[in-house]
């Protein structure tokens, strides 16, 4: 009975660092639908709401963010899709 020592390969284990909730770090507890530039930071290039695991938001901030984006879309401050950007989008057909 010989006990084997663990092999040393010289590689360190990779530990991912947990993302910090950006609105909580910026002390913005209530995300406002009128702050379009701040909201666009958390939208994808196709204007979709990013997932929590990708954006790093906490659950509370993600809910308020989604509500603010939906309100801004309803008013017309943020487009639903990239085709809605201008008055006559690129893919516009009559």
Domain containing residue 47: 35-84
The domain that contains 51 carries what CATH number? 4.10.640.10
Give the number of domains in the chain: 1
- Of 48, 47, 50, 33, give the one whose Cα is nearest residue 85: 47
- Residue 23 inside a domain? The answer is no
- Residue 64 inside a domain? The answer is yes
pLDDT, tens only, 12-35 = 777 777 788 999 998 987 899 999
- Residue 72 inside a domain? The answer is yes
N-terminal to C-terminal alpha carbon distance within the chain: 82
Q: pTM for the full model?
A: 0.71
Q: Cβ atoms within 10 A of the Cβ of 21, count?
A: 17
36: burial class by Cβ within 10 Å (0-12, 13-18, 19+)?
Answer: middle
pLDDT, tens only, 35-59 = 999 999 999 989 999 999 999 999 9
């Amino acid at each position: 009975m010989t006990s084997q020592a663990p092999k040393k390969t010289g590689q360190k284990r990779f530990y991912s660092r947990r993302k910090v909730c950006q609105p909580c770090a910026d002390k913005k507890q209530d995300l406002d639908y009128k702050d379009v530039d701040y909201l666009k930071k958390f939208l994808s290039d196709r204007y979709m709401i990013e997932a929590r695991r990708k954006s790093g938001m906490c659950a509370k901030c993600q809910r308020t963010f989604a509500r603010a984006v939906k309100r801004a879309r309803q008013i017309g401050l943020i487009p639903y899709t990239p085709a809605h950007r201008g008055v006559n989008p690129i893919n516009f057909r009559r």
